[in-house]
Amino acid sequence: MNVQLSTFLLYFVAVFAIGWYALRATKSEADYWIAGGKLGWLVGGATMAATHTSAGTFVGTIGVMYVAGWSFGWLVLALPLAYWFMAAVLAPRFTRVKQLTLPAFIETRYYSKGVRALAAVIILIATVVYVQAQIVAGGLIANIVFGVPVSWGMVGFTAILLAYTVIGGMIAVVYTDLLQLIIMVLGAICAVPLAIRQVGGVEPLFTYVEAVNPLTFSWEAMPALLLFTMGLSFLLGGVATPEKLIRLYAMRDMRTIRRGILLTIIAVTTLNLLVFVLSLAAVVLFPNLPTGDLAMPMLATAVLPATLGAILLAAITAAMMSTVDSLLLVAGSALSVDIYQLFRPDAPPGRRLWVDRAGILVVGTIPVVLLLSGVGEGELVQFIVLLFTALMASSFFIPVVVGVYWRRATREGAAAALVGGGGNPLAWGGGFAGRRAPGEGAPAAMVGGVTTALAWEGWGPADAIDPVLPGFLVSAFLMVVVSLLTPPPPESATQPYMSSPEKP
């Protein structure tokens, strides 16, 4: 325990040191929200990868694969395609006009402050949902490392996140993300060989997994259509989530973006593959956990030596923090830049920075208050992440991608796509929220002899499809139909994104 405490204290000291440096380096709103738009490929790619690698990877993915097996793991194949699309198709046009926020892009392209405010509200709602999942993971880690109640852990981790994010903004976030990515990769690389050795090697690992849960290497644990549409959610969400799009504005130029995203693809794919192996080890070593979300913390505390276990727990914490700080930036900017400045456009720069910090503080406090009130407590982390991804993809993929390629897209079409696409995942039976695996998360093969498919409590026929599919289709339909029925946009709205780029 002393090793764990020392490791975490050293980690937190480094995080606060970065926050203090960022405070001194932040001179303007552009510095605060997009690091001045001057990031290089190493820091830019690292912050993109760290933002993607959340508690959904280190806690949630293992939690679902602990229950459903490797059929869920194919979703990682969607991620390189998503990042390729972002770098090769979207970024060259999307970054022609740099903005401080995604809703600011919405206003510029769709010539409407009202549509900008609508986009900001959607971001605020979705962020509260997603941040809850990360905070739950932070509470679990604090309970294991420090022995405090989970609720105290959630409050403590949130306080640390808010401290350096509020102080240093994007500059603090991107450099802590670089540190956190290094910790994540180091933790996973150290954990995998030791976990494999604990079960006797690679061949015994696969043999034992099949004996414990015969569904692990089959396609029967989850409906095929659900798996396919989950992959679509990761693909579309990988392109269109605001915290990733804003990093395109933070990087220096297109050459930097391409190199940075290549680093992101390598880092994210490597981490996911390592996590998949750890999920198999967890099935063998801890076959009766009450919830799959405990699999990774148990590996860190019960299997690995104290020092390496502390590093792995720090990696899980880094994954959670690297995502939440980015989301807090996005949500805080939605509240302070896109909503507050809509009503106070003439506020002086000094006051704007204070409001910026206050916005992050507000949106960071709400998820903890909801969790302590019992709202969102108990769901598998990965399903909360999937709901957020579906909501973001359904809301923003069409307005962003279509907006830079189709001249006829109008503000009315964008508003309809945002409302129709964003509202659909919530109306689609609430997505995954509130669903439980049989036996509160134990593998189906171990509950009542079930060996066919997971009988998730509360799941009906609609739940065999990830809500991203109907949301995406509704968003696309509304964008096209409403745009064609309304007056075309002014040339000033489309020209920056669709004119031929000037040759150097």
Report pLDDT digits (tens) over 258-278. Answer: 999 999 999 988 988 888 888
Q: What is the pLDDT of residue 256?
A: 96
Ranges of the chain whose pLDDT falls below 50: 429-462, 503-504
Claim: this prediction has a pTM higher than 0.85: no
CA–CA gap between residue 116 and residue 113 (Å, rounded): 5
The first and second tokens of residue 23, run together, are 């405070």
One-letter amino acid identity for 36?
G
The structure tokens listed for 90 are: 């979207």
- In sequence order, the β-bridge partners of residue 39 are 251
Using one digit for the tens of pLDDT, what is the confidence trace for 423-433?
Answer: 877 666 444 44
User: Helices (DSSP H) in 303-443: which residue ranges?
Assistant: 306-333, 341-343, 349-372, 381-397, 403, 411-427
pLDDT at 376: 56
Please count the helices (runs of H) and the strands (runs of E) in the chain: 23, 0
User: According to the model, what pLDDT value does residue 497 have?
Assistant: 93
Q: What is the rounded CA–CA span in Å between residue 438 and residue 491?
A: 56
**C-alpha to C-alpha distance for 11 and 183, rounded to whole angstroms:** 9
Q: Which domains does the chain have, with CATH numbers?
A: 2-382 (1.20.1730.10)
Q: What is the reported pLDDT for 377? A: 55
CA nearest to 419, candidates 108, 109, 119, 111: 119
**CA distance to 55, 105, 324, per residue, from 317 (Å):** 8, 32, 11
* Predicted local confidence at residue 446, as pLDDT: 30
